[in-house]
């Protein structure tokens, strides 16, 4: 006789740690689909982080490259102090409302001037990668350009137990970046936006209609000072300075390349790896403001780049079983 067993445990009826599914709640509390069991839910909010370790390589990038990666309109690249310093960062998130995950990103200093003359200053993210599906999707709602990839972040060893580092990222079988080295705690000049509460974060969200007839671009802005409801003064990145380590460029081994699936290694022309700044922090991510929108219409005759049933380089890579 076959064995067929169903264990219909409804965890949300056992503990308040698990919210009931949206379908059992007021429709105003439905944030994403599906209402039977969304990828992430209201227990993600407010979105906080505790004791994450941020490890940011500081790289020098010329103005032409930065302009190319910051879409204009509506963005302008920052042309003031340390404008050419770009943050190239990994994070080990240990405790978050989206669970633990590893993350990677690139941040370029940029500005946006609205029609009334208000100037917004922020770090703009052209590239981001994460190891978890829920933080990718929750971030994409706010406009973050997140993809999934395999990421490793290691800070270990030596007298302090945090003297050596190793970082790596790959996707679809290609290595995108790897860096190793030893912290020497020498002075490293950070990107201009570091620690400044008048510098927020920019993202460009793209919402495409189900019939692909148009896509709306939205420039979103996350301020660095929190709304009063959060009852937190100062920058929403709350750094714990006793854990900060640095490495000079001479202490870093570095390799980066583009892949057929991910163009960062071709687009981000790194003139110099000036150093690494690594710190532990707590964080709150608030809702984002939409500063600018533009919609791009496609004709009914629109066709993409593919040829039906013909699969090329970008469609061929080892099959994954998921994680």
CB closer to other proteins, 123 vs 132: 132
CB closer to other proteins, 16 vs 116: 16
- Whole-angstrom CA distances from 1 to 4, 7, 8, 306 are 9, 19, 22, 49
State the minimum distance, in angstroms, from the CB of residue 98 to other proteins. 7
CB closer to other proteins, 27 vs 116: 27
CA triple 237-162-275, angle to 5 deg: 65
Look up residue 19 and give its DSSP letter: P
Indicate the helix (H) or strand (E) that contains 295: strand 289-297
CB closer to other proteins, 1 vs 81: 1
- Whole-angstrom CA distances from 221 to 111, 228, 259 are 11, 17, 30
Contact 173, 235 (CB under 8 A): no
Distance CA 278, CA 70 (A): 25
CB closer to other proteins, 189 vs 208: 208
Query: What number of residues does the chain have?
Result: 323
Structure tokens at 131: 């190891």
State the minimum distance, in angstroms, from the CB of residue 183 to other proteins. 12
State the minimum distance, in angstroms, from the CB of residue 219 to other proteins. 10
State the minimum distance, in angstroms, from the CB of residue 28 to other proteins. 5
State the minimum distance, in angstroms, from the CB of residue 53 to other proteins. 13
């Amino acid at each position: 006789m076959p064995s067929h067993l169903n264990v219909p445990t409804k965890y949300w009826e056992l503990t308040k740690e698990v919210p009931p599914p949206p379908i059992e709640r007021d429709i105003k509390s439905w944030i994403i689909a599906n209402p039977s069991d969304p990828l992430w839910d209201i227990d993600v909010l407010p979105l906080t982080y505790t004791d994450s370790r941020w490890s940011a390589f500081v790289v020098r990038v010329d103005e032409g490259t930065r302009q190319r990666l910051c879409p204009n309109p509506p963005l302008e690249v920052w042309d003031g102090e340390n404008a050419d310093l770009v943050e190239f960062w990994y994070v080990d998130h240990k405790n978050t409302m989206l669970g633990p995950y590893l993350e990677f990103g690139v941040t370029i200093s940029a500005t946006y001037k609205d029609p009334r003359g208000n100037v917004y200053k922020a770090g703009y993210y052209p590239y981001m990668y994460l190891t978890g599906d829920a933080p990718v999707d929750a971030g994409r709602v706010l406009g973050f350009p997140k993809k999934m990839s395999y990421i490793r972040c290691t800070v270990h060893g030596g007298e302090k137990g945090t003297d050596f580092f190793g970082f790596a990222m790959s996707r679809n079988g290609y290595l995108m970046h790897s860096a190793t080295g030893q912290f020497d705690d020498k002075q490293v000049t950070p990107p201009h936006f570091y620690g400044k509460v008048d510098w927020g974060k920019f993202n460009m969200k793209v919402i495409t209609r189900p019939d692909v007839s148009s896509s709306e671009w939205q420039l979103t802005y996350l301020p660095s000072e929190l709304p009063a409801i959060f009852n937190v003064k100062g920058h929403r990145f709350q750094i714990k300075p006793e854990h900060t380590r640095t490495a000079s460029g001479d202490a870093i081994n570095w390799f980066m390349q583009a892949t057929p699936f991910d163009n960062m290694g071709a687009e981000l022309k790194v003139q110099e790896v000036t150093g690494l700044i690594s710190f532990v922090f707590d964080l709150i991510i608030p809702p984002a403001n939409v500063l600018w929108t533009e919609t791009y219409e496609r004709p009914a005759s629109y066709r993409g780049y593919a040829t039906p049933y013909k699969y090329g380089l970008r469609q061929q890579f080892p099959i994954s079983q998921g994680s």
